[in-house]
């Protein structure tokens, strides 16, 4: 059992894709903080280093400037810069000032920019306008950036920015079809896009927004019921790390998707949009036919996405704000054809029952078995709609059947509203602060296969992030970040009755409930009245604190930090609340001879799961040679054993014989002891990598790495085991 919770992923030279030639694929590296880093050397024309040169790095969008100096070997570094356009100015006594324009820093990127200065006076200026090289020369990470232009200008069906992740090598979508109507399956796996990165499971990925984790209760990514993550206009850019990430990254053994929100600038910018999809504008799907007549038809469909964004200065060069709103309204018709009892069967006349099995009067001339329909079954027949005369089987005859086809076009309706606000403020040249808040609410409803009950999903997502960056010295920078992530989701909950009898408690098999579920072989199952089907509720909260420090000492760029995350998840599972009848045949149903009945004997109660994740890391990017950087790091990360605040986790302590449950002997007894012994206390994760520029021209990089990555035992792993464990939940069943 212990190995289950200490699963490790290994990334080595020969196994992972660690040898990469960046002349074919630009791959900027990523840091745990969302900011970018700029570093390089300042030399004279003979190649000698220029110490104490003043480096001024100005964000052209906001006017904010970061100042630093070169050390004794002419090296400078500026970590945690806001992604965007920059201008760098280098000045030193006896040399002409050099200004580099056309610099664009990306989310978490570690960019190298070297300078060669010529002799002259400080008043002389040498201006250079050129794009930075796209080859990453300082990190062994295998990653790629999706920039703001790509995010906003590529056509996206549903405007989901996470869909762009599959453009990167090693990333594939696990599920391509929308299956929101398939019961609880979608919600149990999380509603976000299911991505496999470098062959890993979707639950092994970590989604980060402005430096905090925004995974949901199932450890999936952000998204609405359709699997789409709205807010394209609020995302500045994002990156995807597929392998070999450094010790800064924890909580994941798969890939990392790292996004940053847009910030305001010194110029006011705004936009508004409306996207429309409508069945009147669409061609008919080849397989789209009327479920009753079989004739071609175009199912109704309407989708409107609208909204706008705006950003600008509150105080020029100091305080900025950006806001975004997006709304989604969708109604989609889904043609369905389901088997229901024929009109003859409703009256007790069955043509496909052998004489030896007939429970009534068998008529040899017609081959019909006439049974007496039980009053309880006759009452429940109201939940199977009658098929039209054209869909009734011709009996007696070669195509005779007891089943007819009922067709209808069900409506899947989705409404969503998404908000984002970000504020940036610079207190001084040494202190800056930003805060981000987003809120996403969306609800989905759709009818069951018999069009009796509307059920659906509802998701509320919200997050708040605040980060303060302080420059103690030009070579020591600290970033302190707080985050709160909340996902409140109800999965497959009954909403209202299409057929009023689905909310009539006189149909109840379990006191206080509506009609029970009924499963009958050969016809479409009835999922029960309102609230009768299995549904789940999750109230997931994550409280996060990070502190990351950046220290430069000669050829060493050292990063170290700590991360603490407290997880709260309130889980409530309603399983079989109204009961479930199972009939082996249509005849048994009409005569009320069930095979089995089961029902919950106690009401569902919440499981309030608690867990803490703690991480500590150190990372040294060592410029071993001017064209060779070694990335050496170590991370320690542990997670406490998940617990339930009211002691409602059930664990089987011992099992030596079949003695009574919790009787005089404790050899077979369930209780509330810890679920398992905590093996994560030994989770030490070394990371080693290199980046080599063999030709010293900045155009080719060879990278390689090795790392160990732990799969933490997070609450989602135990959800199905602890929703309804004995002795806190009881289910009764009777078989005939």
Question: Under 8 Å CB-to-CB from 698, ≥6 apart: which residues?
Answer: 112, 133, 135, 137
**Per-residue pLDDT tens over the stretch 197-237:** 988 999 999 999 999 999 999 999 998 888 889 999 999 98
Measured between alpha carbons, how far is 467 from 34 in angstroms, rounded to an integer?
Answer: 10
Single out the residue of 31, 431, 481, 474 nearest to residue 212, CA to CA. 481
148-152, 200-204, 458-462, 579-583: which has the minimum mean pLDDT? 148-152
Buried b (16+ CB within 10 A) or exposed e, 502-532: bbbeebbbbeebbbbbbbbebbbbbbbbbbb
Q: What is the dihedral of CA 403, 404, 405, 410, to 10 degrees?
A: -90
β-pairing verdict for 142-146 and 65-69: unpaired
Q: What is the mean pLDDT of residues 653-665?
A: 47
CA 531 to each of CA 180, 191, 651: distance values in angstroms, whole numbers, following the listed order: 17, 21, 30
**Per-residue pLDDT tens over the stretch 67-89:** 898 988 888 888 888 888 899 99
190-194, 344-348, 466-470: which has the minimum mean pLDDT? 190-194
Residue 606 is predicted with a pLDDT of 81
Q: What is the mean pLDDT of residues 694-714?
A: 89
More confident: 610 or 659: 610
CA 139 to each of CA 71, 150, 240, 278, 451: distance values in angstroms, whole numbers, following the listed order: 21, 24, 15, 47, 57
Residue 571 is predicted with a pLDDT of 87
Place of tokens 């479920």: 291
Residue 620 is predicted with a pLDDT of 94
Contact criterion met (CB below 8 Å) for 82 and 432: no
Q: What is the mean pLDDT of residues 667-688?
A: 76
429-438, 579-588, 599-608: which has the minimum mean pLDDT? 599-608
CA 336 to each of CA 303, 516, 519, 524, 526: distance values in angstroms, whole numbers, following the listed order: 21, 23, 19, 12, 15
Measured between alpha carbons, how far is 132 from 101 in angstroms, rounded to an integer?
Answer: 9
Measured between alpha carbons, how far is 174 from 178 in angstroms, rounded to an integer?
Answer: 12
3-class secondary structure, 82? coil
User: Is the pLDDT score of 10 beyond 60?
Assistant: no
- Tell me the pLDDT band of 440, cut-offs 50, 70 and 90: very high
Residue 667 is predicted with a pLDDT of 41
Measured between alpha carbons, how far is 732 from 736 in angstroms, rounded to an integer?
Answer: 14
Angle at 253 between CA 569 and CA 702, to 5 degrees: 150
Measured between alpha carbons, how far is 263 from 269 in angstroms, rounded to an integer?
Answer: 11
**Per-residue pLDDT tens over the stretch 308-344:** 999 999 999 899 999 999 999 999 888 788 999 999 9
Question: Under 8 Å CB-to-CB from 271, ≥6 apart: which residues?
Answer: 233, 308, 309, 310
Buried b (16+ CB within 10 A) or exposed e, 437-448: bbebbbbbbbbb
Residue 464 is predicted with a pLDDT of 96
Residue 174 is predicted with a pLDDT of 84
Measured between alpha carbons, how far is 507 from 491 in angstroms, rounded to an integer?
Answer: 24
Which percentage of the chain shows pLDDT scores above 90?
A: 44
Q: What is the mean pLDDT of residues 574-602?
A: 90
**Per-residue pLDDT tens over the stretch 577-589:** 888 999 999 999 9
Residue 275 is predicted with a pLDDT of 92
Single out the residue of 434, 474, 438 nearest to residue 79, CA to CA. 474
Residue 473 is predicted with a pLDDT of 87
Q: What is the mean pLDDT of residues 5-20?
A: 40
Place of tokens 């005089």: 664
- Tell me the pLDDT band of 294, cut-offs 50, 70 and 90: low
Measured between alpha carbons, how far is 437 from 421 in angstroms, rounded to an integer?
Answer: 5
Measured between alpha carbons, how far is 545 from 373 in angstroms, rounded to an integer?
Answer: 66
Residue 26 is predicted with a pLDDT of 37
Q: What is the mean pLDDT of residues 482-493?
A: 93
Q: Is the dihedral of CA 705, 710, 716, 719 positive or negative?
A: positive
User: Is the pLDDT score of 665 beyond 50?
Assistant: no
Token pair belonging to 464 = 């708040």
- Please count the residues of the chain: 736
117-131, 141-155, 495-509, 699-713: which has the minimum mean pLDDT? 117-131
β-pairing verdict for 36-44 and 115-117: parallel
Measured between alpha carbons, how far is 505 from 552 in angstroms, rounded to an integer?
Answer: 72
- pTM of the predicted protein model: 0.85
| Most trustworthy range by pLDDT among 345-359, 384-398, 644-658 | 345-359
Q: What is the mean pLDDT of residues 244-257?
A: 89
Q: What is the mean pLDDT of residues 173-177?
A: 70
137-151, 333-347, 628-642: which has the minimum mean pLDDT? 137-151
Residue 2 is predicted with a pLDDT of 33
Residue 656 is predicted with a pLDDT of 47
Residue 30 is predicted with a pLDDT of 38
**Per-residue pLDDT tens over the stretch 371-424:** 999 999 999 999 999 998 888 898 888 789 999 988 888 888 999 999 999 999
Residue 439 is predicted with a pLDDT of 97
141-145, 212-216, 562-566: which has the minimum mean pLDDT? 141-145
Measured between alpha carbons, how far is 688 from 151 in angstroms, rounded to an integer?
Answer: 32
β-pairing verdict for 206-209 and 212-213: antiparallel
- Tell me the pLDDT band of 133, cut-offs 50, 70 and 90: low
Q: What is the mean pLDDT of residues 676-696?
A: 91
- Tell me the pLDDT band of 617, cut-offs 50, 70 and 90: very high
Residue 183 is predicted with a pLDDT of 59
Token pair belonging to 698 = 């900045």
- Tell me the pLDDT band of 3, cut-offs 50, 70 and 90: very low
């Amino acid at each position: 059992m212990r190995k289950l919770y200490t699963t490790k992923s290994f990334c080595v030279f020969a196994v992972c894709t660690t040898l990469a030639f960046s002349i074919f694929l630009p791959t900027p590296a990523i840091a745990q903080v969302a900011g970018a880093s700029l570093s390089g050397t300042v030399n004279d024309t003979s190649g000698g280093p220029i110490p104490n040169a003043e480096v001024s790095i100005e964000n052209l969008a906001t006017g904010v400037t970061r100042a630093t100096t070169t050390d004794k070997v002419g090296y400078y570094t500026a970590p945690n810069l806001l992604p965007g356009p920059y201008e760098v100015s280098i000045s030193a006594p006896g040399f002409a000032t050099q200004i580099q324009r056309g610099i664009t820093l990306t989310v978490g990127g570690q960019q190298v920019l070297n300078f060669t200065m010529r002799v002259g006076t400080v008043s002389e200026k040498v201006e250079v306008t050129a794009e930075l090289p796209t080859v990453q020369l300082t990190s062994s990470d295998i990653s790629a950036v999706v920039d703001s232009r790509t995010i906003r200008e590529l056509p996206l069906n549903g405007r989901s920015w996470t869909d762009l992740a599959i453009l990167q090598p090693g990333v594939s979508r696990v599920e391509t079809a929308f299956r929101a109507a398939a019961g609880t399956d979608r919600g149990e796996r999380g509603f976000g896009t299911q991505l496999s990165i470098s062959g890993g499971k979707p639950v092994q990925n970590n989604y980060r927004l402005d430096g905090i984790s925004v995974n949901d209760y199932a450890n999936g990514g952000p998204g609405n019921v359709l699997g789409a993550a709205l807010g394209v206009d609020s995302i500045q850019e994002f990156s995807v790390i597929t392998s070999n990430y450094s010790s800064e990254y924890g909580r994941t053994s798969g890939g990392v998707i790292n996004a940053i929100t847009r910030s305001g600038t010194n110029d006011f910018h705004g936009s508004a949009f409306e996207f429309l999809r409508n069945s009147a504008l669409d061609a008919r799907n080849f397989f789209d036919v009327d479920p009753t007549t079989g004739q071609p038809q175009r199912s109704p469909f309407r989708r409107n996405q609208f909204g706008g964004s705006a950003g600008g200065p509150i105080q020029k060069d100091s305080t900025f704000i950006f806001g975004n709103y997006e709304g989604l309204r969708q109604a989609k018709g889904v043609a369905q054809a389901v088997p229901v009892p024929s009109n003859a069967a409703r009256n007790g006349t069955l043509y496909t029952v052998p004489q030896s099995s007939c429970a009534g009067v068998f008529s040899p001339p017609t081959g019909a078995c006439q049974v007496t329909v039980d009053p309880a079954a006759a009452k429940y027949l109201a939940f199977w709609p009658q098929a039209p005369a054209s869909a009734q089987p011709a009996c007696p005859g070669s195509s005779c059947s007891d089943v007819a086809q009922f067709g209808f076009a069900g409506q899947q309706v989705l409404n969503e509203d998404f908000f984002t606000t970000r504020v940036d403020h610079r207190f001084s040249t040494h202190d800056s602060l930003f805060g981000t808040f987003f809120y996403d609410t969306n609800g989905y409803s759709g009818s069951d296969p018999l069009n009796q009950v509307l059920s659906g999903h509802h998701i509320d997502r919200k997050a708040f992030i605040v980060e303060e960056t302080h420059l103690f010295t030009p070579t020591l920078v600290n970033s302190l970040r707080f985050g709160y992530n909340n996902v409140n989701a109800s999965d497959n909950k009954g909403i209202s009755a299409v057929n009023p009898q689905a909310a009539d408690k006189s149909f109840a098999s379990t006191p206080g409930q509506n009609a029970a579920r009924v499963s009958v072989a050969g016809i479409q199952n009835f999922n029960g009245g309102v609230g009768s089907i299995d549904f789940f509720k999750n109230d997931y909260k994550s409280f996060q604190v990070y502190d990351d420090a950046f220290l430069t000492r000669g050829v060493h760029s050292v990063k170290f930090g700590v991360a603490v995350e407290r997880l709260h998840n309130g889980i409530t599972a309603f399983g079989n609340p109204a009961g479930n009848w199972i009939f082996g045949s249509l005849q048994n149903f009409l005569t009320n001879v069930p095979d089995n009945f089961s029902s919950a004997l106690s009401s569902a109660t919440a499981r309030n799961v608690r867990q803490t994740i703690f991480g500590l890391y150190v990372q040294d990017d060592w410029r071993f040679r001017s064209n060779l950087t070694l990335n050496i790091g170590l991370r320690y990360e542990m997670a406490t054993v998940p617990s339930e605040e009211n002691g409602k986790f059930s664990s089987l302590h011992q099992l030596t014989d079949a003695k009574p449950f919790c009787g005089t002997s404790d050899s077979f007894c369930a209780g509330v002891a810890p679920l398992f012994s905590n093996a994560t206390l030994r989770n030490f994760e070394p990371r080693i990598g290199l980046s080599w520029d063999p030709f010293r021209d900045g155009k080719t990089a060879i990278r390689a790495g090795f790392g160990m990555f732990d799969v933490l035992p997070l609450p989602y792993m135990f959800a199905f085991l602890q929703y309804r464990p004995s002795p806190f939940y009881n289910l009764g069943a009777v078989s005939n």
